[in-house]
Chain A
């Protein structure tokens, strides 16, 4: 007789910009293999846990929230129904309030709950968060952004969101308050020079699986942009916000096509960094975080020293994205225009083909109808721009005794 498997849920609550998209893609792609190992990643679509998080936190997200109605309860039902380990992962869960965390915990029933945060030092996180803001249509300049998040009063939605998703000790205070410290895991993101698969190996360790059995290469990532490229996207936002581009079009053409697939490939341009004054402040705050996390006795996967910034001389030099090299921005813009032109041409070809298909179907239909129908249709078209024809059509309809207006 084998012992029953422990029923456990691991809730990975962020933080954003710590490789979460990469890890979620691995989990989603390998969910069937994982299930064979007793680990459930309950997602029928890649963004299933994102929708559940929107539901839990009653968050509006450009119209996507309507697809999220009831998503958390459905997810929790799968958690309760699984014998083994369940993994939930989305970085916006980091902002959940104590009341929302309580609702989540209650929804898991009698499962053993573990909370996992992947964390990276603020010197790398702050520029990455500004860039993420820009890729989500924000037009706030870099200095403005830094001023807002370094203001200790944390006024406004931007600062509230930034600290809600990035302040690791506070996130764990909200998510881990009711858990024993050994059920709270802090996974530190390896330094840039560490082996590329180390993040996955650390994550797999928390899950209790053999990392080698899953191929972590060439997975979906959230690639970063350089200074001129981010400046360009911010300027594009200024022109396309306020009704020029709908959210779904922005996602397709600006974020995916331009930012992720085109501009992120320009790896020669300057990388985003912190100005020296903010760097010193962030470094000091990281030291405080490490002290607090050490005191709390959480399970650390990696090394808390990874949360301290490396030596400043290893940082990329600070290049101000509010005053970028205009030649570099122009180069990035030219490349963007070419990519968009190619996309427009591709879509036009698709449209032509569809028109052809519709006309062919129309011709086929006409052949099966009589001459009188074709005459009537011509009259209806004529009536759109000719008052005499419109009156004639109205008279015909009165005689015929129908109220429909068009063929």
Chain B
């Protein structure tokens, strides 16, 4: 990026993007003015990933870009991607062999940068927005009216499912707890259950990758405590008797909640968002990447409310779940069989089919970078919009 002509073209492209332009670099540079007074002296051109990030953000605007978008673009262009990765990717000149220079990161056409690199730049921008402004207060969770008489019950199982059932009962006025409870174990296919534990930990600030997370449990030959239903059932059977322990399997959260309520003889209400939330893999991976930055940017008491707020903005949808990496599959199949056998042998009331505990193996083996990038772009614009005027912290 030493050529004055290139610098001039690059800065004029940056100005175009700041104004909401979406022309790709290769197109721009073929027609851009090469010698605009003042542009060559503007210093080092921002990185290719940062420029392309702004172009992609501009492409998602509903209307014309205003000063707010220019400010957001300036913020994006003045920083670099967080963490590990190329320090600075220079723009390539059309026709230039990317590896011609033997020194420095090879120049790149920004339109051909991998989604992972753009997501890295976008997550850095998102962390910046969050760090410089306090999040709006979250709405308090809705609590159903507590009934005078209440049945003692306890729910256990994968965290997202348990939270959804707990909330649907609470909205109907039935709150968990009490002496000598009726115990309902909520069973899910074991890969779904494991992905729920990963999602929950990420939502609580852990930056671990899905593949690493799943591999660790396999290496230890252990299940996360909330998915080890045999151990949970045995613990409760020793205290309340096996006849008060129920196992519920269901095809989806709504049916599981209905079955659990029916087992307990209680009413329920269809629940909205839960905590932890039921998020698609790309959303969880966005939070994972964000955790990596927020963990080093903010102390815990400032990090937690911001993370909760961003989490609340992410969409819940029916995106296919994750499944475990291929090398972990045989282990998980074995463990699922052991769980099903253990529950069948325990003498517990089973509501549904224990074969439903077997992993489905029908999801992606890891979150897809393109989907993560898509969500990063949407979230940056959403957060920038909602935090407008709230910036008070100089970081």
Contact = CB atoms under 8 A, between A and B. Distances in A.
A288 B99 CA distance: 15
B87 A243 contact: no
Nearest to B219: A242
A54 interface: yes
B83 A390 contact: no
B295 A66 contact: yes
Contacts of A174: 87-88
A169 B179 contact: no
A385 B239 CA distance: 9
In terms of DSSP, what is the predominant structure of the interface of chain A?
helix
B284 to A, nearest CB: 17
Interface in B306-353: none
Contact of B296 (A54, A98, A244): A54
Interface stretch (B209-217, B255-263, B372-380): B209-217
Interface residues of B, number: 43
B331 to A, nearest CB: 12
Given A54-B296, A69-B299, A99-B80, A154 B47 contact: no
A68 B294 CA distance: 11
Nearest to B98: A153
B103 A169 contact: yes
A243 B217 contact: yes
A60 B212 CA distance: 16
Contact of A285 (B102, B104, B239): B102
A160 B99 contact: no
Contacts of A161: 84
B297 interface: yes
Contact of A164 (B87, B215, B239): B87
Interface in A154-175: 154, 157, 160-161, 163-164, 167, 169-170, 173-174
A66 to B, nearest CB: 5
A11 to B, nearest CB: 16
A60 B103 contact: no
A58 B106 contact: no
A207 interface: no
Given A97-B88, A98-B80, A243-B215, A65 B295 contact: yes
A289 B98 CA distance: 19
Contact of A58 (B98, B99, B241, B296): B296
With most chain B CB atoms within 10 A of its CB, the pick from A167, A289, A398 is A167
Given A170-B103, A243-B215, A154 B296 contact: no
Contacts of A154: 86, 105-106
With most chain A CB atoms within 10 A of its CB, the pick from B87, B179, B295, B300 is B87
A186 interface: no
Contact of B295 (A60, A167, A177): A60
| 5 A-B pairs with least C-beta separation | A243-B216, A97-B80, A58-B82, A152-B99, A65-B296
Interface of A: 54-55, 57-60, 65-66, 68-70, 95-100, 152-154, 157, 160-161, 163-164, 167, 169-170, 173-174, 177, 242-244, 285, 288-289, 292, 385, 387, 390, 394, 398
